[in-house]
Amino acid sequence: MNETLSRLQPGHVLAFDGVEYVVAMVNDSRALCHPVAKVKRTINTAGGKSIQIESTGAPISISPNSLCPILRTQEVPTLKHKRILI
């Protein structure tokens, strides 16, 4: 899928600044995109231990009408919440 659409949709994988992002959420003002690749990070604790984790990095917000190349489409997991009214 090597085309550019007029509006981004959840599940689109796009290239932005040389990094692949998956669109997680779209509304009228922004598209929330999370990086696809995970990065290994090492955290040094105050006790002198080092912990290695895999992180996807920070998400970005872009215009839902951005003209980014769409590489492919993938399934986006849905979260099922129960609303608690107080």
Residue 39's SS3 state is strand
- Residue 77's identity, in one-letter code, is P
pLDDT digits (tens, 9 = 90+) for 43-72: 898 988 999 988 888 899 999 988 888 899
Is 64 part of any domain? yes
Classify residue 69: in a domain, yes or no.
Answer: yes
Within a domain: residue 4?
no
- Looking at the whole model, is its pTM more than 0.85? no
In a domain? residue 44: yes
Is residue 23 within 8 Å of residue 12, measured between CB atoms?
yes
Q: Tell whether 46 is covered by a domain.
A: yes
pLDDT in tens, 9-48: 999 999 988 889 999 999 999 999 999 888 888 889 898 8
What residues make up the domain containing 33?
Answer: 12-73
Q: How many domains does the chain have?
A: 1
